[in-house]
Amino acid sequence: MSDEQYDDSSVADLPLWSNTEANNRLADVCNKYNVPIGVITDLVSLQRERQHQERAAGIYARIEEILGSMD
């Protein structure tokens, strides 16, 4: 993954990460569909980081980079 990698602390306040039951369900769904939870964490972190921006310049390339890490 790139230098712009996120960790769990950037989403720790969200119920999917802070609530044990919700996090277990997220992990189950990720396992079922073979999606690393880190990919979901990175995508949510990216959205949170960019939500205040009027334009999403470069966001599609970053999304492709995150999803490309699944290969």
Q: Would you kindly state where each structural domain of the chain is located, as residue ranges?
A: 8-68
| Residue 7 binned pLDDT confidence (cut-offs 50, 70, 90) | low
Summarised one tens digit per residue, pLDDT across range 21-68 is 999 999 999 999 999 999 999 999 999 988 888 887 888 999 999 999
C-alpha to C-alpha distance for 25 and 53, rounded to whole angstroms: 31
Cα angle: 23, vertex 38, 8; to 5 degrees? 65
pLDDT at 52: 84
pLDDT at 10 over 70: yes
pLDDT at 31: 97
- Return all residues near 52 (Cβ < 8 A) that are at least 6 apart: none
The secondary structure of residue 69, as a DSSP letter, is T
Q: What is the dihedral of CA 20, 26, 31, 32, to 10 degrees?
A: 130
Predicted TM-score (pTM) of this structure: 0.80
